[in-house]
Amino acid sequence: MQTWNVVATVRGGGYRDAVRLLEPFGRVRRTRFHNVLVADVEDPDSMLERLETRGGTSLASVIPVRRAFEFHSTADFEAKAKAILDELAPGLSTKSFHVRVHHRGALGMSSRDEERSFDIFLLDALERLGLSGRVAFDDPDAIIAVEIVGSRCGMSIWNKQELHRHPLLHLD
């Protein structure tokens, strides 16, 4: 199975340019999904910073992920994703947040349904810990990115400062 820690989407006819921009950072692979590339890079956060200073319009979004896993069913995906969300929950105490799911090829899954389910899961996890937080879509304190490509998922959390600093994230 392919391993990757970055998902990139490409604008229009910019596929070759996008590959050229990403290749200096690590191994770039095409996926079976239109205008979606994955990459396995040594330092995804540094790559994001450097890409943004170079400019270029071929990349629509670049999402580094900090945790990744393979899954074999919707139930397996949800169990593994919720285990990671459980670990992230304490860091969301008193913050506004929402989960953003982008899936390519995960049959039987709805991004909106998964987002709603994960938002509720995080609110429940916070409550179990005696903490609070709230789901918000206008200028949240954090967004949890869930990137699914085929049967692999990558997840990362981005705070408000990072969201404003990195226009290539395009999570909303």
CATH number at residue 114: 3.30.2130.30
Segments in 8-156 forming alpha helices (H): 15-22, 44-54, 74-88, 111-128
- pTM recorded for the entire structure: 0.93
Q: Using 50, 70 and 90 to split pLDDT, how confident is the model at 12?
A: confident
At residue 109, does pLDDT exceed 80? no
Query: Which run of H or E residues covers position 40?
Result: strand 36-41
Asked if 33 and 71 sit in the same domain, the reply is no
**What residue numbers bound the domain in which 129 lies?**
67-169
pLDDT interval class at 57 (50, 70, 90): confident
**Is 1 part of a structural domain of the chain?**
no
Residues 62, 8: contact at Cβ < 8 Å?
yes
- CA dist 63 to 26, 60, 131, Å? 14, 10, 29
Same structural domain, 82 and 146: yes
| Other residues' Cβ atoms within 10 Å of the Cβ of residue 109 | 14
Is residue 33 assigned to a domain?
yes
| Per-residue pLDDT band at 172 (split at 50, 70, 90) | confident
Domain identity same for 60 and 75? no
45 in the same domain as 30: yes
The pLDDT of 118-132, averaged and rounded, is 97
**What is the mean pLDDT of the segment spanning 49-63?**
87
Q: How far apart are CA 126 and CA 142, in angstroms?
A: 15
122 located within any domain: yes
80 and 105 part of one domain: yes
Q: Are residues 109 and 127 in the same domain?
A: yes
